[in-house]
Structure 1
């Protein structure tokens, strides 16, 4: 575990996230009380079944809930990136009268009416990773401005002394996701005035195929020889970007950033196709959401579980946990994603990447 990651876990332990829910502090909001009989029913709504949220966050959230509340039941559903599907799923859970919801919104604005319906039904909503609009009871995520700064700083380092003459493309996330604007602001706080931004895109649905199309358009508009770097908001977009660059026969590839520490991105970093990614340790985030959900479902106050406050477009002073992201490069893969148990060296270092792994000192 890295020093920064260890400090994050220690901080969570101090807040009580790793020990169980607190029962004092700010307003809670469940329709049960701490003395109400019966086990809690907790609904978890995820945006898809292909990304890190389903493969990493889902089992961690469920495991932590069952440790904190052995009798609790958890129903997890995936919207497959479809807003209407997630609205229907949320409406169904409200109809079932679940005790609390953990919501990773596919579209924070469009889910507002469903959040309002949950609030009217006395069901608290914990916004997970993305800040949903409406009367949510709590929020847990990572410091998005810090994510963007890490990406921007890495891109500037890769561009080197010639950065002031460089032209980059910015491939931001979906306009419907408030995190996208947060990452972008963080990146621009570093990049603005230091490089020329030739093209900037909001990528529909965070889809790699949309990033591929945007990058193809940027190459046509700017010229294959006039793209010195690419700010990519996450690893999936980076994959689409790299495919477009390779299709245009651009070699060597310009420096490209990422986020989420997806396995293909780690392997691209080893091969030199991507300069970095941002690790958002899933366990502290999942633990925080589980602790908040159980606490709110019991009708208790969040207290020290939510040491931060954040504003949404519709609500101020939302109790929140904002965790610290970690930069991952070829030099620290072993000390981050491997040491944290996210991937094994064998998973990363398949035969195709064996040579790059040896060069990076990744050996079993």
Structure 2
């Protein structure tokens, strides 16, 4: 993702949603819930929540953001959702643990006049007031295309082996979109999908256990792994290392977590997706402000009959990690710093990539 692209994304947000500054002055003090799904990825605590709170503070200083994380438990998220309604929130930004179960939550809130913004993961069975996310299907295709290109560049012929496909949670509609995108990248690539797995609740340990079984089953036939996020990708890498496989075949990821970026620096993970969560968090805050002001935010598309805005992220590999992660900034802050990434055993890898503290 170039600086020009990031600038375009920010401009597109303003263009699509309109100026929220004018509406912020007319909004009465309100409570807004920000409900995230799990802690298997560090992004929610480190990026999404701070990004949403910062944008809401700019747009509606009198608004109070109530943040909760369900830690992968759909029942807990329902309890948190009900608690937010009891506390009198006027809008709920919901990233669902279970996209199907969340449909009843959307309808419950809307029946009480509460606005619901679906965030990151869509809610297909209910029409939320808006949906904000990165393009999940595009992410799946991008990581698969990138890994296929890596195999071809390395001279790995399709008939010489196949790949494993490690998908996300079967209860997550966004994981379904990523899965669809991965298939779009792999199905006509010539490389056979040896086996495929939907990882319950995105738990890395479950992905690791499954990949371990496939290593025992297929051995050297495995020439790569397309994993739907950095957690499942990290689980796959751990399985190869535990099995004594060296070098580890190319493994994909998604989220650009610190751990994944360090694995790329070390040469253990092939790619990830840089999708600064602050971008979608800010967009969600702008949508909320418009909804609270009684306005209807414009949408660039309809997805599952819901007005939607989707952003396009960037694929990161070792060769462009410095340019995409270290040298880029969002909201005036670097996406990530060398001081954080280039520690201990990763210092030598950073030097090879031209990354210095």
Q: Quote the Cα distance in structure 2 between the aligned partners of 1:263 and 1:92.
A: 33
8 A contact 2:322–2:353 mirrored in 1: no
Which residue, 101, 105, 113 being the options, matches 1:122?
A: 113
CA deviation string 1:14-50 (max 9, x = no partner): 3356x52687xxxxxxxxxx96x73121011111345
8 A contact 1:4–1:326 mirrored in 2: no
User: Are 1:171 and 2:166 matched, yes or no?
Assistant: yes
Matching residue of 1:31? none
Q: Quote the Cα distance in structure 2 between the aligned partners of 1:105 and 1:353.
A: 35
Matching residue of 2:131? 139
Matching residue of 2:351? 358
Matching residue of 1:323? 311
CA deviation string 1:324-364 (max 9, x = no partner): 11111112222222222121111111131111111101113
8 A contact 1:171–1:231 mirrored in 2: yes
Deviation at 1:302, TM superposition (A): 1.0
8 A contact 1:46–1:54 mirrored in 2: no
Matching residue of 1:184? 179
User: Are 1:195 and 2:191 matched, yes or no?
Assistant: yes
Q: 1:129 to 1:22 in 2, by over 3 A?
A: farther
User: Are 1:62 and 2:53 matched, yes or no?
Assistant: yes
CA deviation string 1:277-308 (max 9, x = no partner): 011121220111001111112222113xx222
Deviation at 1:2, TM superposition (A): 3.1
Q: 45-54 or 142-151, which moves further after superposition? A: 45-54
- Consecutive unaligned residues of structure 2, counting only runs of 5 or more, are none
Matching residue of 1:348? 341
Matching residue of 1:308? 301
Which residue, 260, 267, 276 being the options, matches 1:272?
A: 267
Q: Quote the Cα distance in structure 1 between the aligned partners of 2:214 and 2:21.
A: 49
Matching residue of 1:47? 37
Number of matched residues?
345
- TM-score, normalised to structure 2, is 0.92
Deviation at 1:321, TM superposition (A): 0.8
Matching residue of 1:227? 222
Which residue, 284, 292, 302 being the options, matches 1:289?
A: 284
Q: Quote the Cα distance in structure 1 between the aligned partners of 2:180 and 2:21.
A: 33
Other structure's SS at 1:251 match: coil
Q: 1:69 to 1:112 in 2, by over 3 A?
A: same
Q: Quote the Cα distance in structure 1 between the aligned partners of 2:44 and 2:93.
A: 12
Structure 1 segments (4+ residues) deviating >4 Å: none
Which residue, 330, 334, 339 being the options, matches 2:322?
A: 334
Other structure's SS at 1:74 match: strand
Greater RCO, CA 8 A, separation 6+: 1
8 A contact 2:106–2:128 mirrored in 1: yes
Matching residue of 2:28? 38
8 A contact 1:5–1:326 mirrored in 2: no
